[in-house]
């Protein structure tokens, strides 16, 4: 995985665009790099962009509040036995 600090070219631009998105501070990891699930896509910046464009579209308070989205996501991870 290539982190935002080591990224160059298209990947660096993709990280910059993602970092500029409006997201709650709690989603920004304390290590200062992009979240691991984002870095997991670092070998393919185009995949990173389309994947997290969909992720961003799901942040919509009109139909599901943030706490309700978190509940759904946490429960999904629980059933999948995944820490993420």
Partner 1 sequence: MRDPKRMPLDPQDATLIGLVSILAEAPWTIGRADLDRARAVGLSDGTLAHAIVLTSFFHYLNRVADAVDLDFDYESPLERLVRATGREPIERPPPARWTCGEGLPALSFADFPRAEAPFEAWRAYLTERNAPLGRRQRNVLRRAAAAALCDAAGVSELADATPRDDLERRLAAYAHTMTVAPWRLTKDALDGLRKGGLDDGGLLDLISVAAFQNTASRIRLGFTAGAR
Residues at the interface with partner 1 (CB under 8 A): 1, 29-31, 35-37, 40-41, 43-44, 46-47, 50-51, 53-58, 60, 62-64, 68-69, 71-84
Is the Cβ of residue 13 or residue 44 nearer to partner 1 in the bound state?
A: 44
Is the Cβ of residue 19 or residue 72 nearer to partner 1 in the bound state?
A: 72
d(CA 80, CA 84): 10
Is the Cβ of residue 20 or residue 80 nearer to partner 1 in the bound state?
A: 80
d(CA 79, CA 76): 5
22: left (phi over 0), alpha (psi -120 to 50) or beta: beta
Smallest separation (angstroms) from partner 1 to the CB of 42:
9
Smallest separation (angstroms) from partner 1 to the CB of 30:
7
Using the CB atoms, write b or e for 59-72: b if 16+ within 10 Å: eeeeeeeeeeeeee
């Amino acid at each position: 995985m290539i982190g935002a600090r080591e990224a160059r070219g298209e990947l660096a631009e993709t990280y910059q665009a993602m970092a500029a998105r409006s997201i709650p501070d709690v989603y920004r990891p304390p290590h200062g790099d992009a979240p691991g699930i984002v870095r997991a896509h670092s070998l393919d910046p185009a995949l990173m962009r389309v994947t997290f464009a969909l992720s961003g579209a799901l942040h919509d308070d009109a139909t599901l509040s943030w706490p309700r989205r978190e509940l759904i996501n946490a429960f999904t991870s629980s059933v999948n036995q995944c820490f993420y």
